[in-house]
Structure 1
Amino acid sequence: MTAPLSGLVVADFSRVLAGPLATMTLADLGATVVKVERPGTGDDTRSWGPPWGAASSAYFEGLNRSKYSIALDFADPADRATALALATRADVVVQNLRLAAFGLDRASVAAVNPGVVYCSITGFGDADLPGYDFLVQAVGGLMSITGEAGGDPLKVGVALVDVLTAKDATIGILAALNHRRTTGRGDHVQVDLLSSLLGGLVNQASGYLATGIAPSRMGNRHPSIAPYETLRCADAPIAVACGNDRQFARLCAVVGAPSLAGDPRFADNPSRVANREALVEALEKALAAATAAEWEKRLTAAGLAAGVVRDIGQAIDHARDLGLDPLIETGQTPQIRHPIRYAHAHPKPATPPPALGEHGALIRSWLSGATDLP
């Protein structure tokens, strides 16, 4: 079955995370993605280990499946010509490098390929500043709301800003491709880490804009909902999320404290938020009667949102138990599958992340018109 983006060619001049994740998503959806890397070292993440996968770092392998790799030195005129030929042939160019000096900037590429969708990924837009996820988590406000109340600011445990930016880049590319389909014109899609983070702050940013008061760290608590946090059980914490009064009443009944639902301090969500400390104390007293795993069974059986805190391995097992088929095989290290499922369209079968320059001869032959890509 044909994948949704089959026939599209993507020239991937990006490295590290945001760009490679965006182009891997396009590859999952059927696009032919040619990854351009530095000779000798390749994408920085090839050496970002441990841990190591079957043929490279686990970091690199998790972002670069189903791609072709060619190694090009932009300082070499012949390699630079090959890079421009690739960009000229491409429907989409994705880059997070300084390419103007090599004649590979958007204006230069669009001059020979006016229909190209050219996606630039930066840290801070036109500001010439280095942009890494950790830095943007710090300066963009995310660390200020992550961590325990009164504790130090903390980064999120994954490069979430890069992931958000990759999603934005993919959305922008698909929107521009659809616009090209109706107008025939290419476009310049520009995303930056700071803007993607600010867009991802959603209710926290809205709260600040409504009040002028910057939100602070609250640990696992939600600033506007209660109970919506981790609560201690007999052995470990459990995550409980009650989004309305009906769910709260059901929670109270299941934990054996139905009177809490009728307590004026907890009668509605604003009251529960205002009296959170007393609410948590009462709920944890009831939850102390059983383990977190036992409460998870009881609460989920009652249709409530609750779960024990799992590590990543346990989370993958949990997804498998729920029938979500979280993993795919590439012939090397297993990987997390493309996260979207479709009724009719399907991602293309995955191939292993490429070795550095593995497809150089094939790509050059294809660009010359001598062969097709498989």
Structure 2
Amino acid sequence: MSFSSSAAPAATPLPFADLLVLELASVLAGPQVGQFFAELGATVLKVEAPAGDVTRTWKTRAEAANTDVSAYFSCANWGKHSVIVDLTTEAGKAQVQQLAVRADVVLASYKPGDAEKLGVDYDTLRALNPRLIYAHLTGYGPTVARAGYDAVLQAEAGFMFLNAQPGQEPQKMPVAMIDLLAAHQLKEGLLTALYHRCRTGEGSRVQVALLDSALASLANQAATWLVTGHDPQPMGSGHPSIVPYGTVYRAGNGRSLVLAVGADRQFRHLCQALNRPEWAQEARFQTNEARVANRAALETMLQTRIAEVDGDQLLAALEQLGVPAGAVRTVGEALALESGQAMLLPVGEADFQGLRTVAFQSSSWPRAAALASPPRLGQHTAGVIAEQE
């Protein structure tokens, strides 16, 4: 078996067509990075323990029991080769170390100290391949031997506290947001390391902690505490410093919608669309600062008025006027949109579509037309191991 990209061939090579990525990571953050490289042309070898990535078993009640490719597993593992290796054995260590000699990037997500025990730590592999770029994801940093789980990090980093209606219990976000934020941080680190290697010929170790990624993403909420000393409080989907922004309104035809009015001009146009132009002339609503101070009164007025109109007609009018607004859609509705369809990967051997992790496009290379379906456990073991012998 030759190491070749799982992306469809193209007249213009994809940017990572010559890279070999060795994925020792599991669950979501590391595998998301692996699929990112696969979508951009890299050959990604997913090294799994005999039991496989645990997400193969994370199934909803609607999924078939007779497959080891769950919906969760499929969200981050398109375009990869699955290789079973038992790193607790000397033979397994040797196999991975041999693969690392040829690899450009290693993705690892071990607790601190575990990679050393398994013989796949940075120092060991760098001695075999000085050009290797080694990416290590941890929960709390390289010195804290504590496993990182997204739900726990959402709680510990302040996200769950803020994600609630006032007076109600904190809520976890419905996707593993901290894992995804860490994956983006790791991509940035790896792209920087690849650039560094192009300039110097040297490999690097790139370390990303879920906690650091979460804290770095608190943005204006962290700045509020740092600047004012006041801890931001839960506001549901409302915005602490912009009104109206994020609140869900229910229109007369049952349509739920959201406004994102960040400028006074936009607010005037909103009032025009609602046939209430006089609101924009009231001193308490003329500026965003005034609207924040009079949030409760304005929100009550908007809730009442929007409940009297057709939501779809209102959204159309707001679009014409340049007022940011949108319907609250289900996941299925979002993916069914023309823009959503463009983010889907074609059906492969698995008979279902996948979701791209790469959302950008470039004039210098084509978008990968298709990727191999998420691999069955150990699907490529024989070929990859034979290649090593």
Secondary structure of the residue aligned to 1:143 is helix
CA drift at 1:83: 0.7
Secondary structure of the residue aligned to 1:23 is helix
Change (3 A) 1:170 1:52: farther
1:266-277 map, 5 Å: 266-277=285-296
Q: Which residue of 2 aligns with 1:231?
A: 249
1:245-288 C-alpha deviation (Å, 9 max, x unpaired) = 11011111011000011100011111000101111122223212
CA drift at 1:55: 5.6
1:159-170 map, 5 Å: 159-170=176-187
> Are the aligned partners of 2:82 and 2:379 in contact in 1 as well (CA < 8 Å)?
yes
1:168-179 map, 5 Å: 168-179=185-196
Q: Which residue of 2 aligns with 1:74?
A: 87
Answering whether residue 226 of structure 2 is matched by residue 205 of structure 1, we say no
Change (3 A) 1:330 1:237: closer
Q: Which runs of 5+ in 1 are unaligned?
A: 369-374
Moved over 6 A (4+): none
Q: Which residue of 2 aligns with 1:196?
A: 213
Secondary structure of the residue aligned to 1:265 is coil
Q: Which residue of 2 aligns with 1:361?
A: 382
1:86-135 C-alpha deviation (Å, 9 max, x unpaired) = 11211100101221012210111111111111000000002111110000
TM-score, with structure 2 as normaliser: 0.91
TM-score, with structure 1 as normaliser: 0.94
Answering whether residue 103 of structure 2 is matched by residue 93 of structure 1, we say no
CA drift at 1:347: 3.9
Of 324-333 and 20-29, more deviation after overlay is shown by: 324-333
One-letter identity of the residue aligned with 2:388 = L
- Matched positions, count: 365
Secondary structure of the residue aligned to 1:316 is helix
1:1-374 map, 5 Å: 1-39=12-50, 41-50=51-60, 51-52=62-63, 56-97=69-110, 98-125=114-141, 126-228=143-245, 229-234=247-252, 235-318=254-337, 320=338, 322=339, 325-331=342-348, 332=350, 333-337=352-356, 338-348=358-368, 349-368=370-389
Measured on the aligned residues, the alpha-carbon RMSD in Å equals 1.5
CA drift at 1:230: 1.9
> Are the aligned partners of 2:163 and 2:171 in contact in 1 as well (CA < 8 Å)?
yes
> Are the aligned partners of 1:146 and 1:217 in contact in 2 as well (CA < 8 Å)?
yes
Q: Which runs of 5+ in 2 are unaligned?
A: 1-11
> Are the aligned partners of 2:273 and 2:314 in contact in 1 as well (CA < 8 Å)?
no
CA drift at 1:346: 2.6
Identical residues among aligned pairs (%): 38
Q: Which residue of 2 aligns with 1:372?
A: none
